[in-house]
Amino acid sequence: MRQAAPDFADSRLLLLDSITEIRPEDRGRVIVAASHAGVSAVAYAFGSGALCCFFNDAGIGKDQAGISGLGPLAQQGIAAATYSHTSARIGDAMDAWAGGILSYVNDLAAAQGLAPGMRVQQAVFVALT
């Protein structure tokens, strides 16, 4: 599902239950996706022109598969972070918005001031400023 966050006036924020829902018109937006941040998933964001993307870390997994897309997103010029799988459900972007807590950030996100331990809502505000 594609939706705006309730009680958040900035239309540049978009909540996606799956990163596969990203569209060309989402250029310049901050995306809170409820997908994992593995390379196969984040590839949907490549070339999107998103300002920043947030993903579920999916418990990290074998060989850090759940966060393996953070580096490639930075190479694409996209700041990105994951929120902990214990703070929000996979597949539910509204839950990520309501309770997500950052677990990992790529270099571009860190340069913007995003850091593990931040709430997703706080990180979105930072990414938009």
Q: Please name the amino acid found at residue 17.
A: D
Summarize the confidence of residues 106-122 as an average pLDDT. Answer: 97
Of 104, 44, 99, the closest CA to residue 80 belongs to 104
Judged against a pLDDT cut of 80, whether residue 7 lies above it is answered with no
Q: Tens digit of pLDDT for each residue in 68-85?
A: 999 999 999 999 999 999
pLDDT band at 111 (very low <50, low <70, confident <90, very high): very high
Average pLDDT over the chain, rounded to whole? 94
Phi, psi of 39 (to 5 degrees): -55, -40
Contacting residues for 3 by C-beta, under 8 A, at least 6 apart: 14, 15, 93, 94
3-state SS class at 116: coil
Give the angle 18-4-13 at the CA atoms, nearest 5°.
Answer: 85
The predicted model scores a pTM of: 0.95
Judged against a pLDDT cut of 80, whether residue 52 lies above it is answered with yes
Of 50, 18, 36, 26, the closest CA to residue 83 belongs to 36
**CB count in 10 Å sphere of residue 110:** 15
Judged against a pLDDT cut of 90, whether residue 8 lies above it is answered with no
Model pLDDT, residue 97: 96
